[in-house]
Amino acid sequence: MRLFVALQLEDRMKDALIQFIDSVRPHTQEGRFSHRENLHLTLSFIGETGKAAQAKRALHQVQAEPFVISTAGVGRFRRSTGDILWAGIAKNAQLEALAQQVRQTLEQEGFKLEDRPFAAHLTLGREVLLEEGFELKTFSKNLPSVQMPVERVSLMKSERVNGRLVYTEVDFVVLNKNKP
């Protein structure tokens, strides 16, 4: 089972992201764009594992107060096969602390995670080739800043169903300011 820990997005944020994708798509030569139902913010990628019970146990050790995130700009990670197009998340100490806590609880349960710093972003497309001369920065105004409360963290399963990537929530924990 391929697992990751993520924040699921509210409809309002998904709507803004899909509108942005739709505005950029005509300026691409190719690319695989995220489907609305798959938009999320990954806190920690676990990968292929048979240890779902340990991942659930790690998730339920997470303790944090609810907070708010907001979108902030767009960019791309350059790859030889095409870029990863992303929407940024405004710098947020609570989000970074949550991601660090998720990582620590997973490692305490025996998971070996990628050794890469957390970079809060929302993947909009993979293997994207933009038209020659298209300036993504000038187009970033098409993505408004959208705020969203973060009130729960989800353990997600990634699988292919009839050739399509599907993300399914396996478990979740509600963030609660009453927790110690």
Positions marked catalytic: 40, 121
Beta-sheet strand order (sheet of 121-130): 28-33, 121-130, 83-89, 67-77, 147-150
Give the dihedral of Cα atoms 17, 89, 144, 65; nearest 10 deg. Answer: 100
What are residue 141's phi and psi, to 5 degrees? -65, -15
Please report which helix (H) or strand (E) contains residue 93, including its range: helix 93-108
